[in-house]
Chains A and B, each alone.
Chain A
Amino acid sequence: MTDRAFVVVRAGALTTVQDLGRPGHAHLGVPRSGVLDPPAAALVNRLVGNPPGAAVLETTLDGCAVRPRSAVTVAVGGAPCPVRVGGRPAAWGAPVVVPAGELLEVGAATAGVRSYVAVSGGIAVEPVLGSRATDLLSGLGPAPLTDGTVLPLGAPAGPPARVDGTPQPRPPAELVLRVTPGPRADWFTAQAVRDLGTRAYRVSAASNRIGLRTEGPALERARTGELPSEGMVLGAVQVPPDGRPVVFLADHPTTGGYPVIAVVRSADLPAAAQALPGTPLRFVPVRRR
């Protein structure tokens, strides 16, 4: 048995293994999954000398704590949070050495939602369809962490980056999502299309890795009836019968039957992944490129 492993001491509210997901299988009903904040995950991987596709831990709001069985280099990024090694404060957003058997504590996020923990060599659980990502919609990939879970680690690929700290975007006080018109915008009244682009929304506490749910004006349909199921993209703004738009995130279903009124620019989705429930949210219509 390898001694390159993490023992999970405190799993936290929801900590999952994530990488770049499993695109290419949507026609079989397999969501893409993968990290919700790709730039943050790419940065922490770079800090520990990993390739961009190495698997990391994605925490939700309250962090986690793990104990490596052998010395490893880690980096914590994404949502800012206190980091401690063996009880002593350590750097956030920089490579940190954790000696064998010492506790790495990733504290509660002081802003944002999801912190990322990269470890030299990456998390090396068995891949499923080419990815180690936990997909909460379909249940593919490893189960969310529980206390006592042992996670195998890979062999370090390269030396950690020689940087002391790296600027990372602060989680937004207001979430602004640029949207282009969706394929079914014509299923809504002109007023609903205007409302989406002008009215104030808030991020709902019911948001998860599948979708960012919203509170705000209900969007009225111009057409009744059911839309035959059709393929869905990342960032689709789908409107279920209650009229409150839902922005599809990485674990979104591959097909769906509610009309898509707009689509969020993919560059704006990492910020959506870091928006706390209650965050003011605006959708800003932009021209399609």
Chain B
Amino acid sequence: MRTLPVGDDALLVEVASGEEAQALHAELLRRRAEGTLRAREIVPAARTVLLDGLDDRDRWTAELASSGVPGTPARARELIELPVRYDGPDLAEVAAHWRVTEREAARIHAGTEFTVAFCGFAPGFGYLTGLPARYHVPRRATPRTAVPAGAVALAGPYTGVYPRSSPGGWQLIGTTDAVLWDHARVPAALLAPGTRVRFVPAEDA
């Protein structure tokens, strides 16, 4: 674990893997909930957790350096099921990349339990991990200027669902009617870091 000071009052904590980042994030949230950590933002990402608006950076730099990465947290987080139709325009390409049929590609994706590693890009957009490395796919060479809301997509190690229409370079494999983001709802984001996710094919739902 490495701590990197950022600006006036932030600390970027770097760890070796996405799993470690998720474990560290869970532990930091626990400490904030119990009142020992005061930070305006705790932002997990691929291999880091950013603590922004820290009240005492020096103390946390020392404490994190000595404490090491916490163990993987118990899988107590809520499981969200997202209904999906595997009808994306890039499904055939993804299946070819995986060297399976489209039907089998859908089965593999729906058979995976994902975890929201972190959010970003747009409110409510989660970067979901869980697919084994052999199923990682590159981004499209040319991004689309408009990806529809509800598109289920793959890029690198991640699966994501576009909360609203936007440009995007991910491979589109399906569609969900789930509302990923609704600022009038509490909570506004269906997916938050740590949430477990399963995609349930519409005909099975």
Contact yes or no, B47 A231, CB < 8 A: no
Contacts of A254 in B (CB 8 A): 43, 119-120
Contacts of A265 in B (CB 8 A): 7-8
Contacts of B40 in A (CB 8 A): 23-24
Instruction: Pick the contact of A228: B4, B8, B46, B125 (CB < 8 A).
Output: B46
Cα separation A288 to B5 with both chains bound (whole Å): 9
Contact yes or no, B120 A253, CB < 8 A: yes
Residues of B26-52 contacting chain A, CB below 8 A: 40-50, 52
Instruction: Pick the contact of B189: A28, A180, A256, A260 (CB < 8 A).
Output: A28
| Given contact pairs A23-B53, A29-B120, A29-B122, A255 touches B43 in the complex (Cβ within 8 A) | yes
Q: Does A229 contact B (CB under 8 A)?
A: yes
Contacts of A109 in B (CB 8 A): none
Q: Does A273 contact B (CB under 8 A)?
A: no
Contacts of B122 in A (CB 8 A): 29, 138
Cα separation A180 to B10 with both chains bound (whole Å): 12
Q: How far apart are A236's CB and chain B's nearest CB, in angstroms?
A: 7
Interface core residue of A26, A180, A265 (most chain B CB under 10 Å): A26
Cα separation A231 to B43 with both chains bound (whole Å): 6
Instruction: Pick the contact of A231: B12, B124, B189 (CB < 8 A).
Output: B12
Q: How far apart are B16's CB and chain A's nearest CB, in angstroms?
A: 12
Interface core residue of B43, B53, B192 (most chain A CB under 10 Å): B43
Cα separation A260 to B12 with both chains bound (whole Å): 12
Contact yes or no, A129 B183, CB < 8 A: yes
Q: Does B123 contact A (CB under 8 A)?
A: yes
Q: Does B193 contact A (CB under 8 A)?
A: yes
Contacts of B127 in A (CB 8 A): 229
Q: Does A233 contact B (CB under 8 A)?
A: yes
Residues of B94-115 contacting chain A, CB below 8 A: none
Contact yes or no, B121 A139, CB < 8 A: no
Instruction: Pick the contact of B118: A253, A255, A266 (CB < 8 A).
Output: A255
| Given contact pairs A28-B119, A231-B48, A231-B50, A260 touches B41 in the complex (Cβ within 8 A) | no
| Given contact pairs A29-B123, A29-B125, A233 touches B7 in the complex (Cβ within 8 A) | yes
Contacts of A30 in B (CB 8 A): 123
Q: How far apart are B51's CB and chain A's nearest CB, in angstroms?
A: 9
Contact yes or no, A27 B123, CB < 8 A: no
Contact yes or no, B119 A27, CB < 8 A: yes
Q: How far apart are B15's CB and chain A's nearest CB, in angstroms?
A: 11
Contacts of A14 in B (CB 8 A): none
Q: Does A140 contact B (CB under 8 A)?
A: yes
Cα separation A30 to B124 with both chains bound (whole Å): 8
Q: Does B6 contact A (CB under 8 A)?
A: yes
Cα separation A110 to B42 with both chains bound (whole Å): 41
Q: Does A289 contact B (CB under 8 A)?
A: yes
Return 7 A-B CB contacts under 8 Å, by A number: A26-B52, A27-B192, A129-B183, A140-B183, A183-B6, A228-B46, A254-B43
Residues of chain B at the chain A interface (Cβ within 8 Å): 4-8, 10, 12, 40-50, 52-53, 118-125, 127, 164, 183, 188-189, 192-193
Residues of chain A at the chain B interface (Cβ within 8 Å): 23-30, 128-129, 138-140, 180, 182-183, 228-236, 253-256, 260, 263-266, 288-289
